[in-house]
Amino acid sequence: MNLVAELKKYFGFTSFKPGQEEVICSILSGRHTLAMLPTGTGKSLCYQLPGLMVQGHVLIISPLLSLMQDQVEQFKRFGEKRVVALNSFLTIDEKKMVLRNLRKYKFIFISPEMLQVPYIIQKLQELTLSLFVIDEAHCISQWGYDFRPDYSRLGEIRKRLGNPLTLALTATATRKVLNDIIYSLDLEDVTKIEYSVDRPNIALVVEEAAAGRQREERVLELVSQLQKPGIIYFSSKKTAEQMASLIADRGLCKVSAYHAGLDQASRTLIQQQFLYNQLDVICATSAFGMGINKENIRFIIHYHMPMQMESYLQEIGRAGRDGLQSIAFLLYSSGDELLPIQLAESELPSEQQVAWLFHKLEENQMFITDKGIVEQHLRDIGGFSEIQWRIVEQFFKNERHGPNFNKLQEAILTYVKERMRVKKNHIARMKNWIESTCCRREYILQYFEETLSRKISPCCDCCGIELESFQSFAKKHDTLIESTWQEYLSEILINESQNYEK
């Protein structure tokens, strides 16, 4: 079979990007496939093309509503109309209509949460699924344990849908995460297609900067000097807002903050503005980035340290998709790990909370409803967050023969302890990387159980790096006052030719 001809026929492209063909061949030969392809290699094509080539429906599990909408639009641009996102953006009437005519849709996008709705499952069971796709599959491991538990139930859903041929796609996963995905989906005989997580055109820099004023000043300096566009990541919405204001006040560039506290309309607007170069810099929390396909991002700055290496790589991986030289800065000072630790702790119920809850329950058995679930109002008095409560609730739901409080409490505490150990371990490894003085790229690859095939330059601060080459033309111009007109002219020509390459 000539895959390139098929590619040309459906999409008009004349060649595949690295990994695509391999994944598609694996799928077409009927093997469950787990693909780790570098960011920006067009992972969607890996299910789009085989989906079009074979009979039956393709179900794509996607983590974000906005991502689904984008993908649907992308399909429609290619002229494929048999595509739908089955989510809460649909009105009740629309949803009824879609479900009634589900057969008409070749590609169905859906969230893991929606897959928990019995009626939806029932409708999906009536279809012949040719492919079950999990986009951003690392979410299973990263979110499935607490934040979005429905991610950890996809394996069960897969079975109920008749064990369809499965494709899991991700860009950043350790061996452990890959195994976690396979285990969670309960896949047997998986073909793993793994490409390197390394992005050689992104230079890595970690810099000491005391939290507060000093770090702010450094960010302002970087923003004024570095080639834009860029993203600055924060672990706090407020700090992101403040930094955005500061940059705007100094008139450094067009900037906006982006976080989950904004309404959907603003979020979409900001994303679009950034995409179309109406904004140079985004001060964002981790809410920003998934599904951002902007080619020319030149820098990523981390104002706060991420909670794990995988997140860090995902975030810096948004730079330099055009293949041109880009840079990632992480600003750090000792003690920074306390914020991620605090965030990690806040997503698990504390020992005190659990003890309090069971004390209440022993006091009064009526707090358990006839469905075997704990009364909601205990959640509020106990100060449980939505996520914390869900974890507790899950343990009660799984207890089929009436709860044994002692056993349950112990089970919950053991679980929480283990999860916290894992999270703290992630943070510790991140901190080790930051404090390491060995080549940062080599360390990252080691973490992902790869080896560095060749030395690159520029590489990282530990290998030595000339920051000047990352400065924008305007800045260079300022500092080149004393240079000759020949040098000045060559600057212009180099910059122009770089522009043409884009």
Partner DNA sequence: CGGTAGCAAGCTACCTTGCTACCGGTGCTGTAGT
Q: Which residues bind DNA (CB under 7 A)?
A: 63-66, 87-89, 92, 95-96, 99-100, 111, 113-114, 117-120, 122, 143, 146-148, 210-213, 215, 235-239, 259-261, 285-287, 307, 335, 338-339, 342-344, 346-347, 386-387
Q: Are 172 and 313 in contact (CB under 8 A)?
A: yes
Cβ-Cβ contacts under 8 Å for 431 (sequence gap 6 or more): 305, 337
How long a stretch of residues is the chain? 502
Specify the residue, 334 or 404, whose C-beta has the smaller distance to DNA: 334
Q: Are 47 and 56 in contact (CB under 8 A)?
A: no
Nearest to 338 by CA among 315, 305, 313: 305
Specify the residue, 61 or 187, whose C-beta has the smaller distance to DNA: 61
Q: Are 50 and 24 in contact (CB under 8 A)?
A: yes
At residue 18, the 3 state secondary structure works out as: coil
At residue 425, the 3 state secondary structure works out as: helix
CA-CA distance, 410 to 413, in Å (whole number)?
5
Structure tokens at 480: 């080149």
Q: Are 9 and 80 in contact (CB under 8 A)?
A: no
The least CB distance from residue 59 to DNA, in Å, is 14
Tell me, rounded to whole angstroms, the distance of Cα 322 from its chain centroid.
Answer: 19
The least CB distance from residue 286 to DNA, in Å, is 4
The least CB distance from residue 100 to DNA, in Å, is 5
Specify the residue, 426 or 441, whose C-beta has the smaller distance to DNA: 426
Helices 405-435 and 440-447 meet at what angle, rounded to 10? 150
The least CB distance from residue 312 to DNA, in Å, is 12
The least CB distance from residue 23 to DNA, in Å, is 25
Instruction: Tell whether omega for the bond before 200 is within 30 degrees of 0, i.e. cis.
Output: no
Specify the residue, 236 or 472, whose C-beta has the smaller distance to DNA: 236
CA-CA distance, 149 to 389, in Å (whole number)?
12
What is the residue-wise DSSP string for 126-180?
Answer: TS-EEEEEETTTHHHHHHTTTTSGGGGGHHHHHHHTT---EEEEES---HHHHHH
Distance of CA 252 to CAs 114, 228, 243, 280, 281, Å? 44, 11, 12, 10, 10
Specify the residue, 257 or 412, whose C-beta has the smaller distance to DNA: 257
The least CB distance from residue 257 to DNA, in Å, is 10
Structure tokens at 323: 């293949």
Specify the residue, 275 or 467, whose C-beta has the smaller distance to DNA: 275
Nearest to 205 by CA among 284, 283, 301: 301
The least CB distance from residue 159 to DNA, in Å, is 20
The least CB distance from residue 476 to DNA, in Å, is 31
Specify the residue, 143 or 395, whose C-beta has the smaller distance to DNA: 143
The least CB distance from residue 105 to DNA, in Å, is 15
Q: What angle do CA 475, 477, 478 make, to 5 degrees?
A: 65
The least CB distance from residue 397 to DNA, in Å, is 12
Tell me, rounded to whole angstroms, the distance of Cα 96 from its chain centroid.
Answer: 31
Q: Are 123 and 99 in contact (CB under 8 A)?
A: yes
Specify the residue, 149 or 155, whose C-beta has the smaller distance to DNA: 149
The least CB distance from residue 238 to DNA, in Å, is 3
Specify the residue, 211 or 378, whose C-beta has the smaller distance to DNA: 211
Structure tokens at 310: 């995988």
The least CB distance from residue 151 to DNA, in Å, is 9
Residue 458 backbone phi and psi in degrees, to 5: -75, 145
Structure tokens at 256: 């906006």
Specify the residue, 142 or 184, whose C-beta has the smaller distance to DNA: 142
Specify the residue, 33 or 285, whose C-beta has the smaller distance to DNA: 285
Q: What angle do CA 248, 252, 254 make, to 5 degrees?
A: 60
The CA-based diameter of the chain, rounded to the nearest angstrom, is 86
Specify the residue, 97 or 480, whose C-beta has the smaller distance to DNA: 97
The least CB distance from residue 288 to DNA, in Å, is 8
Strands 202-208 and 326-332: parallel
Specify the residue, 246 or 324, whose C-beta has the smaller distance to DNA: 246
